[in-house]
Structure formats: structure tokens, C-alpha cells
């Protein structure tokens, strides 16, 4: 736009552009100061004394990379004597949930990990907790939902109304399984059911092995139902009831730290921040607002259905 054209913008539009620019500059400046101070504080924490590391696993589990990296860094950090994995998640993709579970299990072999369940730690969120030394939940925490789900949209009728028709050329009869332009065939449904049964059996086996429960007992609980924290304790799915503070104190004890007042020294992962991007747009990992609105989880899911 030329300088002359810019000056002749509608006054209201021009004013909105100016206000938007000022808002972004102010937010960016404040965020930069806060993030700089935050990073400084974290460096000081890492350099001062031994403590309990805290890793947040929040929202729908899609991309596990950040959590895996945090676990690796804490394993390598001699100042971190134990870890609290704070979970607030309805679950997510099967592969991602299994990756986090395996990394928690690996980490727990070198230093104790305590899983602390917040409001929801169901399905894949519960799976991730299985690798920890101990699992704590609040009495009203929603957990369990030991099961697998896969969903396909059938838009055949809608496509017919708008005149849309899909032409498919494929190498095999099952290559376009799950196409939204037609219903599933019986053969496709049977194939998917076998796949789900296999992945479900993996979940049951992991629960049985890591909670030291008979597989038949777990199978009876693994029909997708959810439990309160209190019910989960009675069923042997968690170790005890307690909040985040209880989990941090337990982790400190397991890590051989001397108890301090009411809370052990907490160490948080150092994060790379983008100060000029507002928080509500950036979000946190897989729980980013825009990502959650526009992104559907592909494939099989360990996810509590009501969370979708």
C-alpha cells in the first residue's frame, strides 16, 4: 500500500490498526520481560540445590516430543533427585501415549517418578502414569477409561446433497479404509475390530504388569469405564489419594531428599518461549487452542470419549 493510500484508510480501520500494533508491542514487551526473568529463575534453580523435577502433561496427547525431552533432561540433571509427572489429560493417540509411558518407565529406573493426577487422567493419560513408581490421584479425579477407540465420519448423504463424488484408484481393496464418502464394509469393520482388540490387549497387559494385578482382573475393568480417584484406589489402579503437594513430598522422600517445611525444592524444565506470540494462541504443547479446534487426532486413540 502506498503512503498516500495508507493515509486515506477509513479512520476507524486506521485506528484499529494502530491499537492492534500498540497492543502487540505491549504484550510482546511484557512477555519478553517475564520470560527472561523466568528463564533466569530456572537457571538459578538448576544451579542452587537438589530438588524434585516437575513435568506437566496436559491436554490431548498428540505429540510426545516435549515430554520425552523433559524426562531426558531431568534424567541427566544430577540436581533432580526425583520427578513428579503432573497429568491433566483425557488421553490421545495410542503411539504417543505409549512413547511417554515407555520413557517414564525408563526414567523411573534411574530416579523415582511419581504420577500426580489432576482433574482428568484417563485412557492415554492413565497409560502414561503406569510407568511411574507411584500413582496419586484426588478422590474426584476422573481416571481409568482403559480402552481403544477409532472413529470415521460418514459423509455420504451430505456429499450426495451437495453433488460431491469421490473417484478412487487404489492398489488394494482396503487401501481407502475409512473413506468418508461411503460406509465401512463388513470386511473393513472386522479388520478394524481386530486391530483395536490387539491394541486393547497391549493396554491391559501394561496395566497388569505395572500395577501387579491379574490380567483377568484388569480385563474386567477395561471396558472403557471411568473411575473416580477413590474407586481407582479401591480397584488397585492407583496407589493412594493425594494432591500435587502430597506427590511432591512423596517424590522427595523416594529421592532421598530431606523434608523441607511443607514443600520440597521444585525444579521446572527450561522452555524456549516466543514472547511476541500471545499465550492464548500459543497454548501448551498438544493442548494449544487453535490446534485443538482445527486438528483431529488421527488413527487409534486411547482417549476418554466425552473429552472429544
Is residue 123 flagged as an active site residue? yes
Residue with grid cell 522427595, as numbered in its chain: 252
Given 175, 185, 271, 284, which residue is catalytic? 175
The answer to whether residues 94 and 300 touch, using CB atoms and an 8 Å cutoff, is: yes
81 as an active site residue: the answer is no
Q: Which of 97, 123, 206, 286 is catalytic?
A: 123
* Distance of alpha carbon 165 from alpha carbon 184, whole angstroms: 17
Active site residues: 123, 175
Amino acid at each position: 500500500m502506498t503512503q498516500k493510500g495508507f493515509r486515506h484508510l477509513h479512520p476507524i480501520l486506521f485506528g484499529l490498526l494502530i491499537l492492534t500494533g500498540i497492543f502487540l508491542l505491549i504484550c510482546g514487551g511484557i512477555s519478553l520481560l517475564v520470560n527472561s526473568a523466568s528463564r533466569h529463575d530456572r537457571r538459578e534453580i538448576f544451579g542452587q540445590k537438589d530438588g524434585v523435577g516437575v513435568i506437566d502433561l496436559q491436554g490431548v496427547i498428540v505429540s510426545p516430543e516435549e515430554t520425552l525431552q523433559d524426562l531426558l533432561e531431568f534424567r541427566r540433571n544430577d540436581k533432580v533427585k526425583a520427578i513428579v509427572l503432573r497429568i491433566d489429560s483425557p488421553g490421545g493417540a495410542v503411539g504417543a501415549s505409549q512413547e511417554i509411558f515407555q520413557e517414564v518407565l525408563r526414567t523411573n529406573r534411574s530416579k523415582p517418578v511419581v504420577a500426580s493426577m489432576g482433574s482428568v487422567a484417563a485412557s492415554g493419560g492413565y497409560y502414561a502414569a503406569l510407568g511411574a513408581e507411584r500413582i496419586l490421584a484426588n478422590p474426584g479425579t476422573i481416571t481409568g477409561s482403559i480402552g481403544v477407540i477409532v472413529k470415521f465420519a460418514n459423509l455420504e448423504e451430505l456429499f450426495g446433497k451437495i453433488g460431491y463424488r469421490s473417484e478412487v484408484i487404489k492398489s488394494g481393496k482396503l487401501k481407502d479404509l475409512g473413506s468418508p464418502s461411503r460406509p465401512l464394509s463388513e470386511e473393513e469393520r472386522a479388520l478394524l475390530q481386530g486391530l483395536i482388540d490387539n491394541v486393547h490387549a497391549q493396554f491391559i497387559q501394561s496395566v497388569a504388569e505395572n500395577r501387579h494385578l491379574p490380567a483377568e482382573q484388569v480385563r474386567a475393568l477395561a471396558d472403557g469405564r471411568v473411575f473416580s480417584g477413590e474407586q481407582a484406589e479401591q480397584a488397585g489402579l492407583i496407589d493412594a489419594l493425594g494432591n500435587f503437594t502430597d506427590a511432591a513430598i512423596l517424590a522427595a522422600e523416594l529421592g532421598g531428599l530431606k523434608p523441607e517445611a511443607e514443600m520440597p525444592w521444585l525444579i521446572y524444565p527450561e522452555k524456549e518461549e516466543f514472547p511476541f506470540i500471545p499465550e492464548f494462541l500459543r497454548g501448551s504443547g498438544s493442548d494449544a487452542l487453535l490446534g485443538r479446534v482445527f486438528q483431529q487426532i488421527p488413527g487409534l486413540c486411547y482417549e476418554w470419549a466425552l473429552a472429544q
